[in-house]
Amino acid sequence: MRSCLALLLFLAAFSPAATAFAQPAGLVEFTRQEDVIYGRKFGTALTLDVFTPKANANGRGLIFCVSGGWFSAHEAINVGFFNEFLKRGYTVFAVVHGSQPKFTIPEILQDQHRAVRFVRHNAKRFGIDPDQIGIYGGSAGGHLSLMQGTAGEKGNPEATDPVDRQSSRVQAVACFFPPTDFLNYGKPGENALGRGVLASFRAPFDFRELDPKINSFVLISDEDRILEIGRQISPVYQVTPDDAPSLIIHGDADKLVPIQQAERIIEAFKEQNVPAELIVKPGAAHGWPDLPLDLVKFADWFDKHLKPAAK
């Protein structure tokens, strides 16, 4: 019950009703392609929606991670979260990933890789530069954004599927209150792999692997292996000098995702000379009433770090 309640509260904070008052009176005119299939797994289609401005398209693409508590659904797509970017000419791709409680974070991360590869492979179709792709999200969506910015992968030139030959790297990241280190969550040594503060979100941390002997997925119970995976899904441990420039906005009264999580990865970025910035919202918790207005800062960040299309 706690998990469901926390998840519903998070999604409500980002619903059109909750954010409409903070949006401009009218949305920019755009076209929307719904349920574009970017991949399939276990017989299930993975989809994204494409939002293209009708005027002033700038040839740059932004991926929005539709994710709260690693829950994702087409119904959670909020057009109001795209207006500032559409106004500036960005094409926005709202990506719905395989959702918890069915899928775990390692599986969700593979969906995100696939989505970026798909967008890049189809860049000409969508009218964007394949080398100028940004990504953004909040909370779990922020975590996924930072993972893409720090752990994006090269394409496999030998892949049968041409989409998988593409890189899943992005060129800029902006996010709200992201988890970045599940092994030191709020304080050194605090394990939050579906435990402690995140005990209500256990399902996405119930890591499983295929046992070929019985051809079935089995729960991983070995603690060392769990910690190894926890490190692999924590962006702070993936930071390298070639990472995407990253902006984080975080409230200093956040109890669900402590601001220490943002501070840790910003420190790691600076140690590797990666352009990064943390904007602290004094007294703000996990979300705040006028949060959508801060998307202007995201747009400014993408304007700075994504090159406009050549004319």
Q: Please list, in sequence order, all residues whose beta carbon lies within 8 angstroms of the beta carbon of residue 46, skipping any fewer than 6 positions away.
A: 37, 38, 39, 40, 96, 97, 98, 111, 114, 115
Closest alpha carbon to 269 in 294, 231, 235: 235
Section 66-72 average pLDDT: 96
Asked whether residue 211 carries a pLDDT value surpassing 90, the answer given is no
- Determine the 3-state secondary structure of 181 from DSSP: coil
- What's at 123, amino acid-wise? A
Section 204-226 average pLDDT: 92
- Kindly report each contact of residues 180-183 with a partner whose C-beta sits within 8 Å and lies 24 or more positions away, as own/partner: 180/143, 180/146, 180/234, 180/235, 180/236, 180/261, 180/262, 180/264, 180/265, 181/234, 181/235, 181/236, 181/237, 181/261, 181/264, 181/265, 182/230, 182/233, 182/234, 183/227, 183/230, 183/231, 183/234
CA 19, CA 13: separation in Å to the nearest integer?
Answer: 7
Here the tokens at position 102 are 């069915």
| Residue in the block written with tokens 């394949």 | 130
Q: Give the confidence band of 115 by pLDDT, cuts at 50, 70, 90.
A: very high
Q: Please list, in sequence order, all residues whose beta carbon lies within 8 angstroms of the beta carbon of residue 197, skipping any fewer than 6 positions away.
A: 185, 186, 190, 255, 256, 258
CA 42, CA 126: separation in Å to the nearest integer?
Answer: 27
For the chain, give the mean pLDDT: 91
Instruction: Work out the end-to-end distance of the chain between its first and last CA atoms, rounded to an integer number of angstroms.
Output: 54
CA 84, CA 86: separation in Å to the nearest integer?
Answer: 6
CA 196, CA 218: separation in Å to the nearest integer?
Answer: 23
For the stretch 38-52, pLDDT in tens is: 999 999 999 999 999
Give the single-character DSSP code of 307: P
Section 148-172 average pLDDT: 96
Residues 62, 85 contacting (CB under 8 angstroms) = yes
Closest alpha carbon to 69 in 41, 44, 104: 104
Section 78-104 average pLDDT: 95
Q: Give the confidence band of 307 by pLDDT, cuts at 50, 70, 90.
A: confident
Closest alpha carbon to 292 in 32, 5, 19: 19
DSSP letter for each residue of 239-274: --TTPPPEEEEEETT-SSS-THHHHHHHHHHHHTT-
Q: For the chain, give the percent of residues with pLDDT over 70.
A: 91
What pLDDT sits at residue 14?
41
What pLDDT sits at residue 310?
61
Q: What angle do CA 105, 301, 167 make, to 5 degrees?
A: 45
Q: Give the confidence band of 308 by pLDDT, cuts at 50, 70, 90.
A: confident
Q: Give the confidence band of 253 by pLDDT, cuts at 50, 70, 90.
A: very high
Section 136-159 average pLDDT: 96
What pLDDT sits at residue 80?
87
Instruction: Answer yes or no: CATH 3.40.50.1820 is held by domain 2-305.
Output: yes
Q: Give the confidence band of 82 by pLDDT, cuts at 50, 70, 90.
A: very high
Section 118-131 average pLDDT: 97
Asked whether residue 210 carries a pLDDT value surpassing 90, the answer given is no
